[in-house]
Every structure is written in C-alpha cells, then in structure tokens.
Amino acid sequence: MQERAKKRWEDQTLTGIGRLPARASRFTDSSAVESLNGEWKFLYLAAPEYSPQGFEQPDFNTDGWDTIPVPSCWQTEGYDHMHYTDVLYLFPLNPPFVPSENPAGIYKRSFEVPADWMENTTILRFDGADSAYDVWVNGNHAGYSKVSRLPAEFDISSYINAGTNSLTVRVYKWSDGSYLEDQDMWWFSGIYRDVTLLNSPKQRIEDCRIHGDLDPSYTDGLFSAEIRLSMAGGALSWTLSDPEGKKAAEGTVSPAEKTFSIEAKIPGVKKWTAETPALYTLTMTLEGDAGAHTVSFRTGFRKIEVKGNVFTVNGKAILLNGANHHDYSPEGGRRVDPEVMRQDVLMMKRHNINAVRFSHYPSIEAIYDYCDEYGLYVIDEADLECHGFEWAHIYDRISDDPEWEAAYVDRGVRMVERDYNHPSIIMWSLGNESSFGVNFKREAEAIRALDSSRLIHYEGDFEAEITDVYSTMYTWLGPLKEIGATKVKHNKPHVHCEYGHAMGNGPGCLADYEELYHTYDRLQGGFVWEWYDHGIRSEEEDGTVTYKYGGCYGDFPTNGNFCIDGYLMPDRTPSPALLELKQVFCPVSVKRAAESTDLYQVKNWYDFKTLSGVALSCTVTDGKTAVSSFTIDNLSAAPGEEELVLLPCTVENPEGNADYYLNIRVVEKESTSYAPAGHELGVFQFLLPVKKTVYAERKAGTVSVAEDAARLTVRAAGTEFVFNKVTGVLASMEKSGKTLISRGPVVTVDRADIDNDMYKVYDWNNKYFVSRGMEQLEYMTVRQSDDRAAVYIQKYFGCYCQAWGFKLSYVYTIYGDGSMDVSLNGRAVRNREFEPAFLPRIGVELYAAKPLWNVSWYGLGPGESYCDSRQAAIMGIYETDVDGMHTDYVKPQENGHREKAGWLAICDREEGILIKAKEQFGFNVHDYTAEALRKAPYPRDIKREDYLILNLDYRQSGLGSNSCGQEQTESCKTPIEDFTMAFSIRPVKREEILSEARTEYK
C-alpha cells in the first residue's frame, strides 16, 4: 500500500518556514507600527485544495468574497460550526494526519507602505491564528507558522513596495499542531489576535532578556541583561529607572558583537512580589548609521528558590491563592479585548486572588503587563495538550515519540522567549494533561537552558521526575492531607494546579482546602478552576439573551455544559462562588480569643506585608440596625504573625429577644492600584453575649372545628386552615378570605440537580427516585380545647419502588390568635444495602400565594449559602423579592438556598405569613419547581408557576465540586436518619414582621 503523502500542515517536524526567531515582548518600541486589524476579504473553503488558482496574487479578483473582521474566530462570524469538547478530538487519531476535508479560510487585504519605510526593516507580526497558516506578500510566499497561541514574525522587507501592497493569509482549521491543542474549550479557528506591521532601522535592538536577581541576603538587586542586535556596531545607552522613575543605574556600550551583556548592582533594591509589585524600567537607545532605535522593558527584582519541601520568593515560602484563566469572550470566542483582560486582573486582585495560571496556553501579551503592574504570580503554560489520546488508551502516544520532540520543544521555548522579562512569572508549565514521555524531558531541558531562574511545572509528570514542584489536580481532601503530611514524590513542594471546579452551583469545600494549605507547609496552595464560564452569547428573537454551551449547536460529540465552570458568569458577573472564594482567600483572619469575649486574635496571612495597611471597621448590630461603630487602624502584625486586639462591645437597653453581633470588616486604609480606600478584604462576625429574653402572652381567642368526609376545617381569629382528610395535607390557609398557603407542608428529599452532583443524580433520579416521593396517610385526628385545636397526623413517606423511607408524625396546633405551630418527627426506615448513601435534602415543601412576593428573613445572607459554601455570608435581617432569591445559572439548577434562618416572612404590600423555627433551618423561595429546573436548558425556559414554592430544610446536602473533584464532605451530606422539625406559621402585617418575629410566647 502506498504511503500517504504529508501536506505542509501535516508535518510535525516542521515548526515553521520563514519565521523569525522568537523574542521578548517589550513595553515600548520607537518602531513605526501599523495595525492591520480591521475588515479583510474572506473566502471560506471546505478544504485548502479548493482554493482558487492564483488567490495569493495581488491582482486576484475578490469580488463576491465576504468580509470578516480581524481579529475574530470565523465560527463566531457565522462560518463552519460551533463545537465544544473537553477531551475528544474531532478526527481520528492518526498523527500527524488530519481530515482530508480540512476547512480553510483565505484572508486578503491591501496595506500602504510609506516611502521612508523602504530603507528600514519591515516585520509582519501575527499574535495568534488557529491552527496553522501560510502568508503571501505581493504574491510571494513569506512564510508558514503554527502554534495557535504564540506570535509569529516574518521579515517582509524584500517583498514590499512603496505604496499599495497585497497581503494574503490562508488559515487551516486542522494541522499536525491540532494534536497538541486539545485543550478543554470550544474549537475556534481563524486569525483571532492582532496583526501588525513594524518598521525599524536596519540597525536595531532585536531582543533583550533581563535578569532581576537578588543577592544572598535578598537586599541588593543584581541586574543583568542579554541584548541581541540586528547587527554589530553603533552606540547603545541604557538607563534603569526605579518605580518612582528615578535613575537606578545607567551605562553606554559600543557593541562589537551582535550579542552582549550589561549588568549593575542596585543597593537596597525594591523587591517585586504579588503584594508589593515594584517595577523597574530598562530603556535602551541604539544610535546607528540609519538613526536611533529606542525600546523599553519593565522588570522586577525577585529570587525564586526551592528550600527543602517549599519554594520561596525572596526567601519566603508563599501561598498561591490562584485561579485558572482562559482567553475567552462570549461574543468573540478566543478574541479578547486587552481592557477586559485588565479588568480581569483587577477583579482577581479585588477578590484576594494572588496568582493566575494561564491555562492551557500563553495568553495575550498585555495581561502579563497587568500581572506585573498590579501583582499576580503567574504560571505560564505552553500551548500543549493531547488529552484525547487518553480516551483511546494510548495516552503517551506522541509525548513519548521522538518524532514529535521538535514540536514539544518549540512550544515551550517560544513561550519562554516571548515572556521571559515578566517578573510576575514564577513557573514555566510544560503543558497540560498529555501524559509523560521523552518529549517533556527534552522540553524541560531546553527551557532550563534558557532560564534557570524559574521553576518548572507540569502536572502530567506524575512522579515529579523532571519538575521542581509536585503538581496534582482535583485532589480530594484526604489524599491532599496525606501529601502534606508525608514526603511522597521526592518531598517536592506541592501545587494544586486545578481544584474547586466551579461548574454551575458550587463549588463547596473551599474553606476545607484553604485550611489544609495553612496547616501543611508543603501544600503551597493552588488554582481554582476556572475564572469564567465559557458560554456563547445568543440573542433570541424575543430579545432574550442566553449563553449557549456544548450541544446547543447540534455539535456531537460534546461535553455539554462542562464549559460552564467559572467563578464569573459569561457576562463576567461574579457568581456566588467568587464571593465565597474572596472570603476564603482573605489575607487576614479574626477569631475570638478563648479567654475573653472582648479579645480577638487577628492573623496576618500575607507573605510580605504587615497589617499596617489595613483597618478593622467594626459595627455592633442587631442584624438590621447598627447600634455602634468604631475602627481599629493601628494593626501591626508581621507576615504570618498574630496580634491581640481589644474590641469592647456593649449594648445599652437591648431589644427584647434580639440577637446582637459584632461585624468586623477588614478594609484597606489607603487606595491601592486596584481598589479605592475602604475596599473590603473580608468580613468576620461574632455573636455577642447580649440577649434579653422577654415573653408575651398569646392573644386570647376561640377556635372552631368543622369536618366532613373530605375536609377538616379549623378557624381562629379570621384565619381558616383546611386539611385534606384523604391525604392528611394542609390544603389551604386563608386570612380574611385571602389565600396564604395552598398546600403543605409535605416532606421532600429532592432538590433540582446541580452540576456538582453529576455522578449522583442518575441514581438519585432513576434508581432511588428521590424526585418521586410521596406521603401516605395512616392516621389523622383532632383534639380541641377552648383556645386551641391540635391535629395529629401519622404518615409514611417513601419514593417509588423503595423500601427505605420515614415514619412521620405531624402535630398542627392552631391557637385562638390565628397562628399555628407545626411539629414534625421523622423516624428513618432503613434498607441499608439498597438505599442512597445520602440524600439531596430532608425538609418540607409548601405552596404559597404568588402575590406574597416580598421575602425577608433572619439568617445568613445576603446571597445564597450552603453548608459547605457560606463563608461569605453573615447573619442579619435581609429583604428582597422572589426574583432576588434566584441565581441565574447558565444551565438552570438548584439555587438561592439560605442557611441558618431563624425566621422567614413572605408578604404582599400589606400582609403575609411569618414562619419561625425553634432551631435554625435552611430555605428556598421560588416560583418554579425542581422539576422545572431539570427540564430547562436555559433560564428563559424555566416554567413559572402561579404560586410560590417554599422549601424549609431540616438539612440540605452541600455542593462539593464532584463535577471534577471532591464530593461533599461527610459533615455536609444528608444521611437517612431520624429528624425533627418545629416551626410556627402566623399571619402578619408587613410593617409588623420584625416585632412579631422577636416576640416569644409562653
């Protein structure tokens, strides 16, 4: 059989044609720059072979071609089709070959060259195009490149003319490089990053690699730079300026060689860290025969080392509170706006994130400048992932194939050469989820030869054979603790490169992970997955905006909404998870000292800063109204240290039955580069031992009881309670003829599916049928006295075809003032080998009248909270409406739960009901059912009811992050167990909610 001939885009040994050596990105450059962004002529083809003859020629007629914006992804512009996968390749695994019908796009435009450019060197630069491309200038083949997320430069000086010139680019959707670009993301194609022309003197500064090191005492800066010129000669002057713009060092050189070095010692240098991002600027001017060329680079001084089982920055072990970041836009796909990237960095800083991993490829150059400037530690990752080979059980197929060595090394080396000068980068990552093999060894060697000052990271080096850190992803709490407590994998420092998978509602357990990081030195933190949801914005005919995910475009195979897994919604609205993360990552913690209620321990979790820059803004409150406020602004704890602070709190004449709290907000005293003065870093709350218990006499009244074969009716103080005698369910509660409750309470063990339960919901719904629970009436009777009536009901609760369930005992006590106490006892009936390991929830469900739209409660708030995700919530009295109880997750699921409630009221403008419990409870209030959430692909598809659904929970399971990682911890699971619930329901005037809620009856 004849061997298949390789096409240019099917040759893994070919890293490029005509491409200039990679070089470091610069902060400024005096070269003339012309952007070629804008509208280009565009022809979409099913395969490159269908290209029209002579398409690359300047005079080729493009009439009838479309136009397309550059930069853009052609799928977002209506060509080809959207397709999302996590792991799967969209072609057979036959490397290096790709599908014969390989979609291609021909881009064509003209550009003007000034006459004075002709004496200089003109470089054509592409910052990124997916996945490979050929370039023609005036019909001449200028080059070929691949690696979608790295730039390529071509010297086109010999191809251009003064005046009008023609540029043609043919981009290939698939190439041999596609085998190395199987990252978890949408498959996008096209020229999606900037295209520019640079015109520089022939004698110019070509490249510069800066070393900002520290002496062994971490006091003085050791500056050096390796400079490469286009040609020897001329005179080079240089100045190194400190963060205030003052001259720190300078010099002149008359270079006899194209490559040379400069160096200087900087006494008492200002060191760069993520907490103190001090930037120096190197400015160089080369005076040559053809004129001057000036460039500048920013740099910082820091030293990265491994000491024992920790890595250090400037001699101190650091904790990475990081996030994984993709380049993504809901409108433009992989085309991103630098200003949006700046806002991403600012938002990270404002949410106590101190590190970012660019997963799983180098990001746009601007974001590294922002990380340098505002202060984020960076793991820079090579554009390399071949995860789909694991699916075929040949995971190391190309990672251990020497024929692919050049491709692996090229991706790592070009990343380092581009990003070398950024002080924020502390680790180079060899790639992601590509198994291990000889090619990673060669890549690591090549990177170390270029830069030995930073650490090497790669999670796929499972034995930590060639890396400087031992990296794992989605490690459960138990195994992670074991790593921290032992010396496995050569006792190397551990980095949790992915955890806290934020798919849909979640994750939980973030605080548990942070506690481990604080406990074990070797565990140096990690990076939550991931910064934002990758939903594609779609405006429907009715104007409704939805965000689509895998499968919404008919794409198959797909991983569905697995791309909706961020701490930001697709429109970059913070999710509840981001607020939780901010509190968990707070660099200051406050605890009450055991020996005194007025003494508090303030812990400084910063690695380099004292607490002199923060203050404690303290408020004594009854949950609704501030009683007193004061500020502590003389903190001084050193990094890692604690200090005791006296916070005396007194409440004169406390309100009867009110709880009082000390709320401590940790705030920035002065404005920073990323936030104004007063910016809140975190909040801590303490219940004060101030409570005056007062009892009131219940209003007297009579109770009447009437019943027939179907109904039992109890009336008191204008309130009517009707029980269905067939089902034993409270069928209605009315006040003066107005319906308040139309059904319930009835027991439920169901909640709408959440993504983080993806491995449990099938069994819950299709094996144990938790969504098909029902109560069966066993016994019902009523006992009446002068001022009350008690309805006793016994039932059995179970689910379809299940032998486990609960024996239920309800007691409804209705008083003469129109209020009702509900007591519910459940006794578990077990079927241990054939029952779920735990339940989504145990609680009751009620239907209420929809006009009771306003919601107020005393409990955790203001946002949603779950038992393993409630660090950001504090106790208080909150008000919203039913819409405000809803969290608009891209794919509808359980949402809006509030924990630790003492009471809950729902009202219309005038009146409603007050629900008050003896023990704290959790609750939801919505106008849709759990089943409606299950069936709705988008929020706009949720079927709304003409009544409200209230869930009152004895217990609801936590969130976990088991869509990819740790499931709920044992303490946050809801076992099948005996339970008790007790609460009262009473009609209430809206203006009397608080006073009634604080009334305790004898």
pLDDT of residue 5: 81
pLDDT of residue 434: 98
Secondary structure E strands in 246-395: 247-253, 259-266, 280-288, 291-299, 304-307, 310-313, 316-317, 320-325, 355-358, 377-381
| Backbone angles phi and psi of 27, in degrees to 5 | -80, -45
- Helix, strand or coil for residue 49? helix
pLDDT of residue 597: 79
Compute the distance between CA of residue 351 and CA of residue 574 in angstroms, rounded to an integer: 10
Is 101 among the residues known to form the active site?
A: no
Catalytic residue among 433, 459, 514, 835: 433
Compute the distance between CA of residue 920 and CA of residue 868 in angstroms, rounded to an integer: 16
Residue 844, token pair as written in the block: 């009751």
Q: Which residues contact 772 (CB under 8 A, 6 or more apart)?
A: 799, 800
Kindly report the number of other CB atoms within 10 A of residue 252's CB atom: 11
Q: Which residues contact 329 (CB under 8 A, 6 or more apart)?
A: 335, 336, 337, 340
By C-alpha distance, which of 406, 395, 404 is closest to 432? Answer: 395
Compute the distance between CA of residue 905 and CA of residue 994 in angstroms, rounded to an integer: 9
Provide the 8-state DSSP code for 974.
B
Q: End-to-end distance of the chain based on CA atoms, in angstroms?
A: 94
**DSSP code per residue over 688-699:** -S--B--EEPPP
Q: What is the mean pLDDT of each run of 10 residues along the chain (1002 residues)?
A: 86 98 96 98 98 98 98 98 98 98 98 97 98 99 98 99 98 99 98 98 97 98 98 97 98 96 98 99 95 97 98 99 98 97 99 98 98 99 98 97 98 99 99 98 99 98 98 98 96 98 98 98 98 96 93 97 97 97 99 87 98 98 96 98 94 94 98 98 96 91 95 97 98 96 98 96 96 98 94 98 98 97 98 95 98 98 98 98 98 98 98 97 98 97 98 98 96 98 98 95 86
Maximum separation of any 2 CA atoms in the chain, in Å: 110
Provide the 8-state DSSP code for 421.
T
pLDDT of residue 274: 99
By C-alpha distance, which of 506, 517, 471, 474 is closest to 492? Answer: 471
Calculate the CA 361 to chain-centre distance.
Answer: 17
Compute the distance between CA of residue 435 and CA of residue 449 in angstroms, rounded to an integer: 23
Strands 588-592 vs 545-548: parallel, antiparallel or unpaired: unpaired
pLDDT of residue 832: 87
pLDDT of residue 595: 75
Is 433 among the residues known to form the active site?
A: yes
pLDDT of residue 3: 79
Catalytic residue among 10, 206, 498, 894: 498
- Helix, strand or coil for residue 771? helix
By C-alpha distance, which of 795, 800, 798, 797 is closest to 777? Answer: 795
pLDDT of residue 290: 82
pLDDT of residue 27: 93
Whether residue 296 contacts residue 28, with contact meaning beta carbons closer than 8 Å, is answered with: yes
Residue ranges and CATH numbers for the domains of the chain are: 8-200 (2.60.120.260), 205-303 (2.60.40.10), 320-533+574-583 (3.20.20.80), 586-693 (2.60.40.10), 696-1001 (2.70.98.10)
**DSSP code per residue over 563-611:** G---SB-TT-PBPHHHHHHHHHT-SEEEEE-TT-SSEEEEEE--SS--G
